[in-house]
Amino acid sequence: MNKKITIEHKVTIAGKGSFSAQHNILVDAVDTVNISIAEMDGSATTATVEVQPGSRVECVFIKSSTYDKDLTFDVAGTGATALDGPVVLSGSGPVSLLQSDPTTIEFSNSLSKSVDIEIITCRAAIV
């Protein structure tokens, strides 16, 4: 059964005003994963999360309790990217920027504090 997802983006720039966009997508499955990654203990702490069973991903959202260049994520072995802001990819085109289907995501925490991360993925039916 299709689920309607409404995605809203808003940017407010001091002295320039607000800019917003909204669109809807239909998906067949929505998966949410919450993890905590412990603080660095001599070397970076890593955690690998299985987030999707396959392809046809229509949106990926990654939210963290802390954003920093020393907190990274790697989608299915494509290379580490700093999680220095929320990740919001909606539509199969933007999701393709990940270079690989987000079946697994490895997080690496080199901070002196633990972080909580929420990952939401939405996909069309796998046929």
pLDDT digits (tens, 9 = 90+) for 15-65: 999 999 998 988 988 989 999 999 888 788 888 888 766 678 888 999 999
* Class of 27-123 in CATH: mainly beta
Among candidates 30, 7, 22, which has minimal Cα distance to 124? 30
Is the separation of the CB atoms in 21 and 9 below 8 Å? yes
Alpha carbon distance 20, 26 (integer Å):
21
**Residues of the chain by 3-state class (helix, strand, coil), percent to 5:** 5, 60, 35
Strand partners, 25: 5
pLDDT digits (tens, 9 = 90+) for 100-110: 777 889 999 99
Alpha carbon distance 119, 112 (integer Å):
22
pLDDT at 51: 78
Alpha carbon distance 19, 13 (integer Å):
8
Q: Quote the mean pLDDT of the chain.
A: 88
> Mean pLDDT throughout 5-15?
93
